[in-house]
A and B are shown apart, each in its own frame.
Chain A
Amino acid sequence: MQIPYTKRTLSNGLDVIVHEDHQLPMVAVNLWYHVGSKNERPGRTGFAHLFEHLMFEGSEHHDHGYFPPMQRAGALINGSTSSDRTNYWEVVPTGSLELALWMESDRMGYLLPALTEKKFANQREVVLNERRQNYENRPYGMAGMALSAAMFAPDHPYHWPTIGAPDDLRAATLADVHAFFQKFYHPSNASLALAGDIETAEAFDLAERFFGELPPGPVPDPVRAEAGLAASANLVLEDRVELPRLYLSWHSPAMFGDGDAELDVIADVLAHGKSSRLYKRLVYERRIATDVSAYQHSREISSVFQMACTAAAGVPLSELESAVRAAVAEIAATGPTPAEIERALAQSEAQFLYRLQTIGGFGGKSDQLNAYNTYLGDPGYFDRDRQRYVGMTAVAAAAAARRWLQEAPLVALSVVPHGRRELALPGATEVHVS
């Protein structure tokens, strides 16, 4: 499927990508800053995400909330922060495109004069609440943090979670925020996609008018770090849960790297849907697990392949572990069957199209154009991305499973009910997450 687009880079370094789609009288404005929690440092974690919150609290020429004028325009608005990037987007009626660009450019160019200690303190509390609500007060909510901490050395940028550590958030100062903004939030570290009911020439004129006056800012150095495990680890975390769950986590190739798509398909074949190997064996036939999952979590510097299964009542996690390892060994030996590959390809094609049904939002066309542009410098990577899957062979998939899973060390994490350490894999070491 073709997504026609035009890309130009303004003289200040801002990439602008335009895609026309006149189905709705709406335009998606989507802005990526190439900064995420990977750009933080130990002791000051959670910054990129806290910053995302502050971007909605007003800028020099509109020192009020970001939401009221945008909602008055009928816009849908959001933003998100990952380890690799931060994105901000609005989907606005075409008549309000200038308003959206005015506001996005004002917070890119003129945020700091409006940033007060009071706003900062308020949003820090909001983020601490977000952390409690989405992680601490949720069953298995701390498992991801425990795994990241075990998979990556303390100075590796993927060691800490995007939401940050509470002590770090409390220790953050307004001066830290200023420094962070000046380093990362400017045209030369950003990519703007406009998709929807707009003429291409007009879109570039507007982008130039609103963003062209902003100074480029420094180009941040790419973050590089080596990831790897010297040996496998076996950990246990106690949590407020009813059923023990086992997580297995391996290092895997970076996003778009060799083996990335293969492991994505391996994950599908092992645990996506009822016809997947592990669902069929563990949940459907043997009934020793209540759910299984597998996921190639692709990221910029390096990725993680993660599997999880929750034990049915009374089933020891060691039994699940053996079954998962057997399935990994098997697929590493012979790869997926032709029917499994056919199925995985049909699913990946459909998922690819699902993401392209909308002009904006998370995963819509504007977001995807920016993702390809930010990570690969090529907004039109759609076909090449698809080709990674279409041409896949069982031999290549098996080789990836062998290299990255079967022959590699891993971190096993048992999450068990409080006071029930004996339910963990034998020999597990206790971990604590703050």
Chain B
Amino acid sequence: MSRVDRSRLPEPGPDRPFRFPRIARRTLANGLQLRAVTHSAVPMISIVLLVPGGSSADPADRPGLVSMTAGLLDEGSRGQSALDIADRVARIGGDLDLEQSADAVVVALTTLDRHVEPGLALVHEIVSSPNLAVDDFNRVRNLRLERLRQMKDHASAMAERAFAQVLYGRHPYGHLGYGTMASLTAATVEDTRLLHAAMFAPEGSTLIVVGDRPDEELLDLASAAFSGWRALGSTMRLDREAALAPPPARPLTRLGVVSRPGAAQSELRIGHVCAPRATPDYHALLMLNTILGGQFVSRINLNLREAKGYTYGVRTGFDLRRGIGPFVLQTSVGTEVTVPAVREALNEIREIATTRPATGDELSLGFATISKGYPRGFETATQVARSVAQLALHGLPDSYFEDFIPRFAQVTQDDVSRVAARYLDLDKMTTLIVGDLDKIAVSLPDLGLGEYQVLTPEI
């Protein structure tokens, strides 16, 4: 056998073909959109129900109500208690998640294939007729209030909260899903009933089922379970499109600090409001981010972690949503290197938009990283179901996965420079530090960001 040639790395061979999921569709008479994908791997089934209007649909005086209501879905339904529901989930080996993002509520159940029918029935039941009983409401609210109190001790949770408030103010993206102690305290069980009736309806929602059965059979099973779902009327007016309004102009906080005496590290966020998911520049922004801070070998991580040793890791992201989402850099750095770390991060952002544009080599690396790894995102039934849910949320075509790589391949260096100049604006950026103010205050003026503002995020 020939010895290994260690004078150079082996060249990657050609990519083998991959078939992206074929999505079957059906619309029920009640308006519910169904999607099904046949996925053969292990005998598991993934059920994902997408209900548009996440925490951004919270009533203005009740931040946290959508999340609270979603969280109550598995606390009992049709007269069965929360314990009964938990018992049913456990008996089918189910993994039930109730989540809300800024844009949608997602109810996801993964279970064994042989339990597909009880699984679908369970999801239908908790979504369409939860008990929303006062005793359960009080219990869950108390647990959430305790969680909020505990968040004060989490540097990253404080940073998320403060950053959303600074960037968005009273815009629907300006609060996190959990809401505040004041709003949770003021909320009533009747609020959750009204919100449930206004929000959880078949019209506008999408149910995705993925498993190792013919897609028509999956659609039939889903139809059988959900065709009886009826919208309930509600006096609450819910604005699912509230977040589509542009964030209001507000005075810029260039440098904000949340004081955390004795903190072992400084938690950082740097960014500004940026663009919606529907931007035609989506692919160029993805490329820009990959080069700037979206992967291990990105400029910022190689600088802050690998060259300087300031952090365990740093990343950037364009958190693109239905409305205008933010660009955010996030990391946690040693207290004593807070100022140099911020300076280096800002420099990297400045340079990619000006003096050191993305190179052809960076572009080809970014393309290979994303495109060659793309099939990996379709390995499990849950991955497939969640990807299809993203298409539904953003109104993307069923051919999206198939089209993605050819479209991404069209991004040029000029595109990346153009979007860097257009979407990254240092003059509008907020730098937020959650850390030991006593130790860093003296060096903060070195950043040249003006006076720092001490922020106290509302909990």
Contact = CB atoms under 8 A, between A and B. Distances in A.
A75 interface: yes
A287 B302 CA distance: 48
Contacts of B253: none
Interface in A72-113: 72-77, 91, 93-96, 98-99, 102-103, 105-106, 110
A130 B332 CA distance: 9
Contact of B143 (A96, A128, A241, A290): A290
Residue among B42, B142, B155, B333 with max Cβ neighbours from chain A (10 Å): B42
Contacts of B289: none
A230 interface: no
Contacts of A106: 6
Nearest to B96: A273
A-side interface size class? 35 or more
Contacts of A358: 379-380
A274 B86 contact: yes
Interface in A135-151: 136-139
A123 B89 CA distance: 44
A156 interface: no
A275 interface: yes
Nearest to A106: B6
Contacts of A1: 42
A343 to B, nearest CB: 4
Contacts of B14: 95
Contacts, number: 221
Interface in A342-383: 342-343, 346-347, 349-351, 353-354, 356-359
Interface string A150-180: 0000000000000000000000000000000
A428 interface: no
Interface in A33-88: 60-62, 65, 67-69, 71-77
Contacts of A99: 9-12
Nearest to A94: B16
Interface string B142-171: 110011011011110000000000000000
A71 B369 contact: yes
A212 interface: yes
Contacts of B12: 72-73, 93, 95-96, 99
A342 B92 CA distance: 10
A346 B119 CA distance: 14
Interface stretch (A20-28, A247-255, A319-327, A400-408): A20-28
B427 interface: no
A243 B145 CA distance: 12
B78 interface: no
A242 B152 CA distance: 8
A24 B379 CA distance: 7
Given A274-B82, A275-B83, A284-B139, A349 B146 contact: no
B306 A241 contact: no
B12 to A, nearest CB: 4
Nearest to A137: B264
B332 A137 contact: yes
Interface residues of B, number: 82
B265 A137 contact: yes
Contacts of A429: none
A350 B115 CA distance: 11
A181 interface: no
A133 B265 contact: yes
B306 A209 contact: no
Contact of B95 (A94, A124, A275, A354): A354
A71 B382 CA distance: 24
Contacts of B67: none
B392 to A, nearest CB: 23
B200 to A, nearest CB: 21
B403 interface: no
B309 A125 contact: yes
A358 B348 CA distance: 36
A61 B6 contact: yes
B235 interface: no
Interface string B1-38: 11110110111111111100000000000000000000
Interface string A194-220: 000100000001001110110000000
Nearest to A208: B1
Given A74-B369, A122-B309, A290-B147, A356 B332 contact: no
B214 interface: no
B452 interface: no
Contacts of B312: 126-127, 129-130, 133-134
Contacts of B112: 346, 349-350, 353
Contact of A74 (B142, B143, B154, B371): B371
Contacts of A136: 264-265
A73 B111 CA distance: 34
B78 to A, nearest CB: 17
Contacts of A342: 91
B41 interface: yes
Contacts of B7: 61
B371 to A, nearest CB: 7
A185 to B, nearest CB: 18
Nearest to A98: B10
A132 interface: yes
Nearest to A210: B4
A240 interface: yes
Contacts of A74: 368-374
Interface in B385-416: none
Given A62-B9, A95-B14, A356-B42, A290 B139 contact: no
Contacts of A208: 1
A386 interface: no
A12 to B, nearest CB: 14
B8 to A, nearest CB: 8
B376 interface: yes
Contact of B83 (A23, A24, A134, A284): A284
8 interchain residue pairs of minimum CB distance: A74-B372, A350-B93, A95-B13, A125-B309, A274-B86, A25-B16, A136-B264, A74-B373
Given A61-B7, A93-B15, A275-B83, 6 more contacts: A24-B375, A26-B375, A71-B365, A71-B369, A137-B265, A347-B90
9 contacts: A24-B375, A75-B372, A93-B12, A122-B309, A129-B309, A133-B311, A343-B90, A350-B111, A353-B42
Interface of B: 1-4, 6-7, 9-18, 40-44, 82-83, 85-87, 89-95, 110-112, 139, 142-143, 146-147, 149-150, 152-155, 262-265, 267, 295-297, 302, 305-307, 309-312, 332-334, 364-365, 368-376, 378-382
